[in-house]
Structure 1
């Protein structure tokens, strides 16, 4: 668990005076995350999540919180920010911006089957389409510019083979991002971090187990942790998702039944364009590079926390190599 800013009972009591959420019943840190301090909060009015933002500044929060409100209002199951009594969606706690959002039901599915992946693919496509009329814009702050700025600090920690891989792939993506095809890729607000631990599934009626999109009694409960969201190419968001949900974690190789299930379900809601299909491998590589760079950065330049568990950067090095060495099947050839 990463809790960078501890919160006492007194802190919580003062904070809740700004909300109409009743009295606190339970409050505890969440055992995940390396960017923010997160806490489960139960009050007499329901269940919520309190987040203290360790890096984001107050002026940066409206994009993320307003996007969640926008998607929730359009039926996409995401946490809905709770307004304070003065109407604001965030305030300051220990001098840092903080917000309360509704808590989604369910548990993360860390060993997904094709039916789980199908639900994720369909909901991701719904979220992309629902975000088309979102009025605010913000680039993905962990995209090419950040990779280029961060890479020089990483090279001293890498061996020659790793350093060459980082430089070569960064050059490849720089060329791809500058291409006419890249500029024509459709896009909009994206989650940009839709990993297995950012999606919840709940147990439903076991009698629905045979329905399309269900794995046994599991049904998708929602997406959360939008604090890496930004406006990007939808294909990038899809590639990031496939690189986590549809891979063998030890080798980085794609698991074809899961990948096909996710991609078919996504395309049943939003079919990919010809240009997107043509650059599927490029974007899978971009998604792998993004998380290799960020995990290297977190591993070699960590911050202090009560209980911090940095992610293994080797996982996305393996994923990147696998995407380079074994081009994926064409998404345009998948049956719908």
Structure 2
């Protein structure tokens, strides 16, 4: 959610005329995240989030926006995209595809408690069940082919022999994993702490569906556990892990195939975010407000999974 494309007050005021939102009061760029330009927007008729899509395939944008509408229509705590007076959810601003969604209440948490972990696990299970009825299709842009290609590029680029060895060894290990053979569905693929909102211990919103895609459901659970259940120094928090997995399994139980592949699935999820952060660290992008996340925590998580078996189910 960095700011790569600047928007002036006059440009935004003109843009908002196509929506039934009243008059512009104010707006502010959002610095977190790394992919899109985002602004908080306040108008006389509500509070909104404006997103300008910087690098996403424009053909995939209807999938993301349609998924958010589908989930919200089924009672899931997802932001609802706003339609223009002409009826479309996807528009453009300053040469970039753009969308306006209702801003949800609540704040993200840095140090979640057990009840918050339970609610996230339950919400992820709900998302996976509700998503089965969503007809849209979108491939995972950060899937196995991307991990292989990006890993090879970074292994060639780095001067750190230990980093190179870890990338090459993990890519060889991941060749044994076929996520396509595991139960599939719509996944969020980025359900990190900064993408879930709470008011106290009540989950009020799941946001940023712009990595959502069709992929292995267990992979999505692994992505979520890796963020919510590890400490900054790479240590696992067993209580959070147990709270989240138990809540998820109350809504959707894992298959025998998922359990058998689980250690490699956890490693695939850790590898994906280590590589993406390492890539952004190695090839930084210009922007007005750009947030580049440290790759080191995900290297530690990957190493943990390589050296320790996951907690028993």
Short-chain TM bin: over 0.9
Shift of 1:94: 0.6
Post-superposition Cα deviations, 1:43-100, rounded to whole Å, max 9, x if no partner, equal 1211110001111243221111111111111111011111111111111111110000
Q: Alignment length, in residue pairs?
A: 312
Shift of 1:15: 0.3
Q: Which residue of 2 aligns with 1:287?
A: 269
Residue 272 of structure 1, aligned match among 231, 254, 262:
254
Structure 1 contact 173–286 (Cα < 8 Å) conserved? yes
Post-superposition Cα deviations, 1:109-162, rounded to whole Å, max 9, x if no partner, equal 110111110000000000100000111111111011101121232112241121
**Taking structure 1 as reference, are residues 48 and 118 closer, same or farther at Cα in structure 2, changes over 3 Å only?**
same
Q: Which residue of 1 aligns with 2:212?
A: 229
Equivalences for residues 77-88 of structure 1 within 5 A:
77-88=77-88
Shift of 1:106: 0.4
Q: Which residue of 2 aligns with 1:51?
A: 51
Equivalences for residues 163-242 of structure 1 within 5 A:
163-177=164-178, 182-203=179-200, 218-242=201-225
Matched residue of 1:312: which SS?
Answer: coil
TM-score by length of 2: 0.97
Q: Which residue of 2 aligns with 1:160?
A: 161
Matched residue of 2:279: which SS?
Answer: helix
Mapped to 1, the partners of 2:118 and 2:286 lie a distance apart of: 38
Mapped to 2, the partners of 1:130 and 1:158 lie a distance apart of: 45
Deviates more, 1:300-309 or 1:94-103: 300-309
Q: Which residue of 1 aligns with 2:7?
A: 7
Structure 1 contact 2–36 (Cα < 8 Å) conserved? yes
Equivalences for residues 308-319 of structure 1 within 5 A:
308-319=290-301
**Taking structure 1 as reference, are residues 253 and 279 closer, same or farther at Cα in structure 2, changes over 3 Å only?**
farther
Shift of 1:183: 4.0
Structure 1 contact 57–97 (Cα < 8 Å) conserved? no
Q: Which residue of 2 aligns with 1:140?
A: 140
Structure 1 contact 120–262 (Cα < 8 Å) conserved? yes
Matched residue of 1:133: which SS?
Answer: coil
Structure 1 contact 299–310 (Cα < 8 Å) conserved? yes
Matched residue of 1:254: which SS?
Answer: coil
Residue 278 of structure 2, aligned match among 296, 301, 306:
296
Mapped to 2, the partners of 1:184 and 1:153 lie a distance apart of: 27
Mapped to 2, the partners of 1:194 and 1:45 lie a distance apart of: 29
Equivalences for residues 249-268 of structure 1 within 5 A:
249-250=232-233, 252-268=234-250
Mapped to 2, the partners of 1:68 and 1:269 lie a distance apart of: 20
Equivalences for residues 17-32 of structure 1 within 5 A:
17-32=17-32
Gaps of 5+ in 1: 204-217, 332-336
Mapped to 2, the partners of 1:299 and 1:74 lie a distance apart of: 39
Shift of 1:242: 0.2
Gaps of 5+ in 2: none
Structure 1 position 325 matched with structure 2 position 296: no
Q: Which residue of 1 aligns with 2:117?
A: 117
